[in-house]
Chain A
Amino acid sequence: MRLIDLLREKLELTGTKEGCGKGECGACTVLIDNQAVCSCLILCAQVAGRSIVTIEGAEKMRETALLQQTFAETGAIQCGFCTPGMILSAAALLKTVRRPTRAQIKKHIAGNLCRCTGYTKILDAVEAAALKLETAKPK
């Protein structure tokens, strides 16, 4: 069984979306040990003992919670189907690079297809979240 099926069918966590089933669109992105991975390409046996974060856990993680906020505020969400995967992908970047450049963000989320937004406001949202993360750092 694929991880995406375990999440959506067995655990009824339908926040992770299936766009292509072939790892080509990124809609099904989840974090496995803080790495962004297409859950349609992972078999359940591969995740034994690993930590998985789906969009349902977003509010519990600082990076994803901030991204949810900035995505909504900047208008980075149109149809919303790519949004969960996009947020988790961006979160993986923000965990390793605190103030990524726009070029770095573009490269990192290039595996998450969005057909609605043209990516402009998505990039704005990731930058805004990165800024909030930075300014909220304990002194």
Chain B
Amino acid sequence: MSVIGKRAVRREAQVRADGAGLFTDDMKIHGMLHAAVVRSPVARGEIIRLESRSASRLAGFEGLFTYKNIPGRNSVPIVIDDQPCLAAGRVNYIGEPVAIVVAQSRETARKAAGMVTVVCRELPPLLDPLTARNHRKIRLYGDDNIFKHMKIRRGDVDSAFRLCDVIIENEYRTPFQEHAYIEPQAMIAVPNPDGTIDISGSMQCPFYVRKAVTTVLGLKDSAVRVVQCATGGAFGGKEDVPSLVACQAALGAWLLKRPVKIVYDRTEDMICTSKRHPSVVRYKSGASSDGILRAVEVEYIIDGGAYATLSAVVLFRGTVHSVGPYRCENIKVDSYAVATNKVPAGAFRGFGSPQILFAVESQMDQLAEKLGLDPLEFRRRNILKRNDVTATGQKLQYSVGLEDTLDRVIRVSGWNPRSDREKDTGFGLSTIFYGVGLGAGGKHLARTGANVIMNADGSVTFSVGTTEIGQGMVTVLSQIVADRLGVPLDWVTMIPTDTSRVPDSGPTVASRSTTMSGNALLDACTKIRTQLIDEASLILGCRPDQIILDDGFARTETKSIPLLEVIKACTAKRRCLAAEGWHVSPPTSWDDETGRGDAYVVYSWATNLALVKVDRETGEVDVRKIWAAHDIGKAVNPALAEGQIEGGTLQGLGYALMEEMAVDSKGKLLNTEFSTYILPTAADQPDIVPEIVEHAYPDGPYGAKGFGEQPLMGIAPAIANAIYDAVGVRIRDLPITPEKIWRALKDTNHKDRISGRDRAHS
């Protein structure tokens, strides 16, 4: 019986249920010191001096380090190399790291850091990306404060709009969304006498961390070993930020020759670490009376914050998804990542697509209404199907299950857009897609390694370069290894991710672990399997192709022997039952001038349907139910896949209705606690109905595609569309708070909060 497709219990479940399983702060190293960060008090300024005398007098104070103490290069390179490890002269956001304090206890370190004064000459900050873009005087990045500009040009939008029967044009805005992983950032650095250093901590990308530490300490890759600890949630917030945190621990450790641990305080974490890019989207879409989407013109601006970090690639993904999962012949997209004096924005589940899809799916409903079509019918006429061509000119040759997800949601929910419903309740739809993996924007990173060792007693250990962050990767990969080698699942163990065990395998992002690490493991396991089957064929006296390896046995149609016997024979003959694997993504392409290319190797697809009830008196929205159907190619473990759907859907609900981080006129984040940054709790949870659809991806392990981010992406527009269906108000800036709905309802003209013009073709 294959273990693929089984609802196997997570390998770490028991350990986590016991509270064990070593998160970073659970680890204690003999002689360990503690670090804390001294940070910029202003959004933009020049450092005059640090005043640290009172701090240095605290009992237990061990050292204060600035950029001047950095042995290597003062840089934490992510994509563009513009971010310093410690500010050297200029500061560009409130909370920017300026110095590291090391002390004997965490309490002393934090106290000391708080006592260091950063004396600055304050400069006027740029806080609005629209103001910052092309600013005449203030230069934060390059000549125009634009980290990156991307385009799509297809057909002729001007002519096409003239022929449209319906045009909808609006502006949408989305705010900072904070990851709010429950485990704060944490790292431990342990220097070794031989000139090497070991880093362990909470992270998604051990190889990024290694690169940062080698840069800052001026060491070779072979001198830095990074091992991931159990990580308490990430969602993108531990993609690039841990590189900075690791350097903060490593610098003190290196200079003092002592182990150093750093754990961020929650408020510090909320102020100083990356978030989802705020955005402004100006969207114009037009359709003909036969219900076909004819033209799309988009300006998509993301607020990158003080340093480029991941903005260029967030922009890439957002741009590729900017038309939604639809056919459209005439497209003009201009997207910009702009520098401002705020914390650098970064990766968060969806990576530039939730913002733009909020606009896309809101537009689709508004177009449908103007056309006199219901939102379901309008989408049916336009959604991409197999052999269609995407907005970037990519022909979809395989694995296009969008229509199936739509059909599934309709069937399971029983929704009829034209039927009556209870007063003030409404249904809202969204259909979305997601390019799996790094795509053309990250092709140089699109390779992964693995190694597998089968021991003489049949137990198997494996290593990969991607990380478990709660999504269930260890279990899914264990199932793949168990299946390929024909052993019971409990014979298989993954070794914690460690840069010394596999070659640079890239980051754990872009929903890439199942496909990339899965395929690398299949490569390795196939080599071991060949040895086992070879030996088994000798024992059983048959051809290799007659043998199946399954659940600890080697079987033919008539005979069966325990795999342990085969392994014993292999071992006696000194066959190698260990192997390495390597997987490189199929080619992708991108033309910067036209925005044409095979942007991603494959896409996942989803349909969301939200049922809401709106309280007209208070504006509160009660989300009763959300149906979410996802085409994921193959569910290696359906229970874990459901877990991603349920978790991502609720994060999407938070994004839709309650989450935003506000900034004041000086660039200070205003709501930086769990009591003021409102997250969905169990009490806010709607009924979530997850549905799995499988349109196999030929290059995916067992047909699987990645999809961990996708569940969040379409929820906000589904809820916005449902609110409109319920009470006739359309809110175009997130979060859709009760105040916004209440005001819109009170406004006798029902004018939308952000001015939008919709006009019929004249």
Does A110 contact B265, Cβ atoms closer than 8 Å? no
Does A122 contact B682, Cβ atoms closer than 8 Å? yes
By a CB distance below 8 angstroms, the chain B residues around A22 are 266, 673-675
| Cα distance, A65 to B7, chains bound together (Å) | 22
By a CB distance below 8 angstroms, the chain B residues around A115 are 179-182, 233, 235, 647, 651, 679
**Extra inter-chain contacts (14) besides given A79-B234, A80-B17, CB under 8 Å:** A8-B26, A16-B19, A17-B19, A19-B182, A20-B266, A22-B673, A54-B19, A58-B17, A72-B13, A77-B17, A78-B471, A79-B233, A83-B17, A118-B648
| Cα distance, A25 to B269, chains bound together (Å) | 14
By a CB distance below 8 angstroms, the chain B residues around A100 are none
Does A15 contact B18, Cβ atoms closer than 8 Å? yes
B interface footprint on A36-73 (CB within 8 Å = 1, 0 otherwise): 00000000000000000011101100000000110111
Question: Smallest distance from the beta carbon of B348 to chain A beta carbons, Å?
Answer: 12
Q: Which of B15, B183, B639 contacts A79 (CB 8 A)?
A: B183
Residues of B within 8 A of A (CB): 7, 9-10, 12-21, 23, 25-26, 28, 179-184, 230-235, 265-266, 469-472, 639-640, 642-643, 646-651, 673-675, 679, 681-683, 685, 688
B interface footprint on A78-98 (CB within 8 Å = 1, 0 otherwise): 111111100100000000000
By a CB distance below 8 angstroms, the chain B residues around A83 are 16-17, 19
| Cα distance, A110 to B683, chains bound together (Å) | 5
Task: State whether A105 and B682 are in contact (beta carbons under 8 Å apart), knowing that A79-B232, A116-B233 are contacts in the complex.
Answer: yes
Question: Across the two chains, which residue of chain B brings its CB closest to A83?
Answer: B16
Indicate whether A117 reaches chain B with its CB closer than 8 angstroms.
Answer: yes
Does A24 contact B674, Cβ atoms closer than 8 Å? yes
Indicate whether A132 reaches chain B with its CB closer than 8 angstroms.
Answer: no
| Cα distance, A18 to B263, chains bound together (Å) | 10
Indicate whether A114 reaches chain B with its CB closer than 8 angstroms.
Answer: yes
Does A113 contact B674, Cβ atoms closer than 8 Å? yes
By a CB distance below 8 angstroms, the chain B residues around A119 are 646, 650, 681-682, 685
| Cα distance, A114 to B648, chains bound together (Å) | 12
By a CB distance below 8 angstroms, the chain A residues around B231 are 79
Does B184 contact A75, Cβ atoms closer than 8 Å? no
| Cα distance, A84 to B20, chains bound together (Å) | 9
The interface centre, meaning the residue of A22, A77, A105, A110 with most chain B CB atoms within 10 A of its CB, is A77
For the complex of A and B, 3 pairs with smallest distance between CB atoms? A15-B19, A80-B16, A79-B470
By a CB distance below 8 angstroms, the chain B residues around A111 are 681
List 16 A–B pairs whose Cβ atoms lie within 8 Å, in order of A's numbering.
A17-B19, A19-B266, A21-B265, A22-B673, A75-B10, A75-B643, A77-B12, A79-B16, A81-B181, A81-B182, A106-B683, A112-B682, A117-B643, A117-B646, A121-B646, A123-B682
The interface centre, meaning the residue of A8, A69, A120 with most chain B CB atoms within 10 A of its CB, is A120
Question: Smallest distance from the beta carbon of A18 to chain B beta carbons, Å?
Answer: 7
Q: Which of A20, A114, A118 contacts B688 (CB 8 A)?
A: A118
| Cα distance, A84 to B26, chains bound together (Å) | 14
Question: Smallest distance from the beta carbon of B693 to chain A beta carbons, Å?
Answer: 19
By a CB distance below 8 angstroms, the chain A residues around B17 are 58, 68-69, 71-72, 77, 80, 83, 87
Does B182 contact A27, Cβ atoms closer than 8 Å? yes
The interface centre, meaning the residue of B14, B25, B640, B685 with most chain A CB atoms within 10 A of its CB, is B685
Task: State whether A113 and B182 are in contact (beta carbons under 8 Å apart), knowing that A20-B673, A72-B9, A79-B469 are contacts in the complex.
Answer: yes
Question: Across the two chains, which residue of chain A brings its CB closest to B690?
Answer: A120
By a CB distance below 8 angstroms, the chain A residues around B20 are 15
By a CB distance below 8 angstroms, the chain A residues around B649 are 118
Question: Smallest distance from the beta carbon of B643 to chain A beta carbons, Å?
Answer: 5
B interface footprint on A95-139 (CB within 8 Å = 1, 0 otherwise): 000000000011101111111111111110000000000000000
Q: Which of B7, B232, B651, B688 contacts A80 (CB 8 A)?
A: B232
Does B651 contact A110, Cβ atoms closer than 8 Å? no
Does B16 contact A118, Cβ atoms closer than 8 Å? no
Question: Across the two chains, which residue of chain B brings its CB closest to A15?
Answer: B19
| Cα distance, A56 to B685, chains bound together (Å) | 29
Does B19 contact A84, Cβ atoms closer than 8 Å? yes
Indicate whether A14 reaches chain B with its CB closer than 8 angstroms.
Answer: yes
By a CB distance below 8 angstroms, the chain B residues around A107 are 682-683
By a CB distance below 8 angstroms, the chain A residues around B650 are 118-119
Question: Across the two chains, which residue of chain B brings its CB closest to A64?
Answer: B17
Question: Smallest distance from the beta carbon of A74 to chain B beta carbons, Å?
Answer: 8
Question: Smallest distance from the beta carbon of A45 to chain B beta carbons, Å?
Answer: 18
Question: Smallest distance from the beta carbon of B371 to chain A beta carbons, Å?
Answer: 35
Question: Smallest distance from the beta carbon of B209 to chain A beta carbons, Å?
Answer: 18
Question: Smallest distance from the beta carbon of B217 to chain A beta carbons, Å?
Answer: 29
| Cα distance, A8 to B184, chains bound together (Å) | 16
Does B688 contact A81, Cβ atoms closer than 8 Å? no
| Cα distance, A116 to B16, chains bound together (Å) | 14
Does B688 contact A120, Cβ atoms closer than 8 Å? yes
By a CB distance below 8 angstroms, the chain A residues around B472 are 78
By a CB distance below 8 angstroms, the chain A residues around B679 are 113, 115
Question: Across the two chains, which residue of chain B brings its CB closest to A18?
Answer: B25
By a CB distance below 8 angstroms, the chain A residues around B182 are 17, 19, 25, 27, 79, 81-82, 113-115
Question: Smallest distance from the beta carbon of A33 to chain B beta carbons, Å?
Answer: 20
Question: Smallest distance from the beta carbon of A21 to chain B beta carbons, Å?
Answer: 6
By a CB distance below 8 angstroms, the chain B residues around A19 are 182-184, 232, 266
Question: Across the two chains, which residue of chain B brings its CB closest to A86?
Answer: B682
By a CB distance below 8 angstroms, the chain A residues around B25 are 8, 14, 18
| Cα distance, A99 to B688, chains bound together (Å) | 22
Question: Smallest distance from the beta carbon of A10 to chain B beta carbons, Å?
Answer: 12
By a CB distance below 8 angstroms, the chain A residues around B26 are 8, 14
Question: Across the two chains, which residue of chain B brings its CB closest to A80?
Answer: B16
Question: Across the two chains, which residue of chain A brings its CB closest to B470?
Answer: A79
| Cα distance, A71 to B266, chains bound together (Å) | 26
By a CB distance below 8 angstroms, the chain B residues around A18 are 25
Q: Which of B14, B235, B639 contacts A75 (CB 8 A)?
A: B639
